[in-house]
Structure 1
């Protein structure tokens, strides 16, 4: 049994940790359920200030992997399971598909509208839906609803440890806020505090590398893994791929959130020695950007350079694929470009000349894989191979950014946290990125979706379950 430490105490029916899409959905859902059942107290805590709160949701475009507002698409379940080579639980994805219509109806009652907007995956035809205003709009719809329902939000407050009752169920959480330490006793605790991407030591330990990763947005810094660790300390099971993460290729010179460089198939990528190291055109951008970013992370210095020439102008949608606000490095010759980038001049010239000689003639179509490739080159280029010979030449440095980690807690259909034996831990729920789901590569457009759906599920279930438990108000 974990006993509470000294300090102030209070009680609630449900405590939610984290104010991203999963946490806000859970808090609102719990409060709505309380109103339906005669009342109840919901406390939401977040380590950030009010202005900074919202986790990664605040910074994301929030693309959703669905065909229409109420329609996940026929291949939704098999596609997501296939992304993980069958390691992602099919029941979880089926639950997402089943709960989608009611959840989308729910969020629309709060004023959210959806629109099909072009993505930065400029050569992919996969459908994406987006809330108008992105992830921040979702939060701005949920926050006033939470206030209207009486959810008590405590900013600048960090959860440290779960409290257990005599029966081993969770009965509260120890937190530290502006007024010092406090124990919040509760009938249920919902962890929705993201992954551990904001803790370099935690990352190095699980990923097996100390090579730094660029945070994709300011929200990354608040996700330090305490929520996951607290649950593991009381017997929670792990799920997802703990030594992997969602990666994106970004311009390290740019300080704006998500400074993506998604046009890498239309040119070549070289390492700091001036050598190509990957087939830049092996698939559409949405299929290859993550593995490309991870390959760059594994290079000496963790950096690569995207090099192209005037022919990039033939890619009509190129501006959608370049989100960095820093202009490219330009030069009238490859030699001068190498000098500007600090790359070996002779080696870069040799790399470009060898690539140009290997390019096969044929029509170029930036919109889809065109089969315009190289021959006799290693690594090959499978599509969009154009000679780099029409200056001025330009380049973007690229590093690997971390969006979120794949490893997290194991849960059931109600969002209740499970032990290694598959048994639910009483009073403990989790939703969003702190729950382990992904393996291999990230199936784009699912993180916000699952946070919203399972946040809503766990909030309602937790509030109903707490009716059969009386939150403790004295130290155990």
Structure 2
């Protein structure tokens, strides 16, 4: 395998080569095939583990004008834009973001036409029944539907086909080399769609940006997203976008596996209690905003705490208000006993809870809206959903930063074409999904936006690649 002679040539040349196997890749492949192109999908994972992080998703956020059978009300383009600006603190490409939001309005019908089915939001799912559409059967069922449609349309799929080299001359793609069990193979194409995810499972690459604290991070998604294709593209003078330390990072159960724990390790109970660090001290407002718009800040917050660990403390009143995690909460008869189970200072935690309780101004508690239950004269405050933690038994979850995907990626234009460092778009290279999410997400996150980015830009990239191949 040391020379060019060791690389077999694939017998077919394709119009469109899609690198990746998740939602963005499949939307691109289907769109390109429906536009008449010959398409191959190169998936590094095995068939069982295909789909990258899409396997762990359950919904997508799309603008829509009215309630439907599975959505409880309208969600306008302007409201979507306002939500995006708020969670990113304005760090987004407005032209691309507004285009994505506009295009998202017909994505639900298009996705449905590809065989994906939806269901109403379940109770406890982040109050998303109006804004987000939930996949019937979750992300894996969605993937199965997209793969079935792609295969019926004649899209070729290679599994366990890791791309190890890209033949790029200037701004033009010519071929991809994949590593398979039987050896290396070169696959030629008239256009490339890169939809191969971020680099969140590459711990050494995370350490480059975050420092040694990144070794304490857990990876919610696939272990296959190591950023190798991104590195190849940036090394070929494709322009970059985003900050290597910005990512979709949530607080997940500290007992979760290092990789692939998925959505069931996420904890949605922060707003119903308090969060303390190893010193048994609170460090942020747990009730700042409704959970779908703020849950993704907690991974970064925990990352800044000692040993990158924190503890969510709540009582019996709140025990049934959220979706349970994979692991049961730790239970105790008193706050002091609860502290001891986590090797926290019992006196300090008891004092922290007492100070919080004394500051609570209880109003009309409503877990679904910005209620008037808040603290007074407490730093940091809890601005909504503040209730005294005074009803045993008492519970706690240990949490660590759970990285879903990273935002450093390739810069694209409104046609999903990669932009070159020298200026202007690449001749025949497109990108979709996490590998270009930093164009829309400079920071922050709101539930379901990752799937929106993948679906919208995937379809645009697939259509554009097919158009180029036909010229």
What is the TM-score of this pair, normalised by structure 2? 0.89
Corresponding residue for residue 153 of structure 2: 149
Corresponding residue for residue 45 of structure 1: 42
Q: CA RMSD in A?
A: 2.4
Confirm whether residue 180 of structure 1 aligns to residue 179 of structure 2: no
Aligned equivalents of 1:110 and 1:443: distance in 2? 25
Corresponding residue for residue 374 of structure 2: 373
Shift of 1:6: 4.9
Corresponding residue for residue 466 of structure 1: 469
Secondary structure of 1:400's counterpart equals strand
Aligned equivalents of 1:371 and 1:124: distance in 2? 21
Q: 1:8-67: per-residue Cα shift (whole Å, max 9, x none)? A: 112322111001001111112222222xxxxx5322111100111111111111232434
1:449 to 443, 452, 455: 452
Corresponding residue for residue 34 of structure 2: 32
Q: 1:273-312: per-residue Cα shift (whole Å, max 9, x none)? A: 2122222122222232222221112111111111122222
Q: Where does the alignment leave 5 or more consecutive residues of structure 2 unmatched? A: none
Secondary structure of 1:190's counterpart equals strand
Aligned equivalents of 1:426 and 1:7: distance in 2? 26
Asked whether the 8 Å contact 1:65–1:444 carries over to 2, the reply is no
Q: 1:184-225: per-residue Cα shift (whole Å, max 9, x none)? A: 1211111100011111111121334533211113x2x11111
Secondary structure of 2:61's counterpart equals coil
Aligned equivalents of 1:269 and 1:383: distance in 2? 14
1:110 to 89, 108, 114: 114
Q: 1:92-112: per-residue Cα shift (whole Å, max 9, x none)? A: 123223333444333222332
Corresponding residue for residue 63 of structure 1: 60
Aligned equivalents of 1:227 and 1:114: distance in 2? 32
Q: Taking structure 1 as reference, are residues 193 and 64 closer, same or farther at Cα in structure 2, changes over 3 Å only? A: same
Corresponding residue for residue 344 of structure 2: 343
Shift of 1:119: 6.3
Corresponding residue for residue 287 of structure 2: 281
Secondary structure of 2:14's counterpart equals strand
Corresponding residue for residue 95 of structure 1: 99
Corresponding residue for residue 142 of structure 2: 138
Shift of 1:236: 0.6
In terms of Rg, which structure is larger? 1
Q: Where does the alignment leave 5 or more consecutive residues of structure 1 unmatched? A: 35-39, 469-476
Aligned equivalents of 1:127 and 1:164: distance in 2? 41
1:54 to 51, 55, 60: 51
2:164 to 160, 166, 173: 160
Q: Taking structure 1 as reference, are residues 43 and 346 closer, same or farther at Cα in structure 2, changes over 3 Å only? A: same
Asked whether the 8 Å contact 2:251–2:266 carries over to 1, the reply is yes
Q: Taking structure 1 as reference, are residues 224 and 185 closer, same or farther at Cα in structure 2, changes over 3 Å only? A: same
Aligned equivalents of 1:175 and 1:140: distance in 2? 24
Q: Taking structure 1 as reference, are residues 5 and 96 closer, same or farther at Cα in structure 2, changes over 3 Å only? A: farther
My pick for the range that moved more, 275-284 or 15-24, is: 275-284
My pick for the range that moved more, 76-85 or 88-97, is: 76-85
Asked whether the 8 Å contact 1:269–1:277 carries over to 2, the reply is yes
Asked whether the 8 Å contact 1:54–1:139 carries over to 2, the reply is yes
Shift of 1:89: 1.4
Q: Taking structure 1 as reference, are residues 287 and 105 closer, same or farther at Cα in structure 2, changes over 3 Å only? A: closer
Q: Taking structure 1 as reference, are residues 5 and 59 closer, same or farther at Cα in structure 2, changes over 3 Å only? A: farther
Asked whether the 8 Å contact 2:87–2:294 carries over to 1, the reply is no
Corresponding residue for residue 217 of structure 2: 213
Q: 1:313-357: per-residue Cα shift (whole Å, max 9, x none)? A: 5xx6x1xx3331322111112221111221111211221222222
Asked whether the 8 Å contact 1:124–1:368 carries over to 2, the reply is no
Asked whether the 8 Å contact 1:246–1:441 carries over to 2, the reply is yes
Corresponding residue for residue 414 of structure 1: 415
Q: 1:142-161: per-residue Cα shift (whole Å, max 9, x none)? A: 21222222222111111122
My pick for the range that moved more, 361-370 or 398-407, is: 361-370
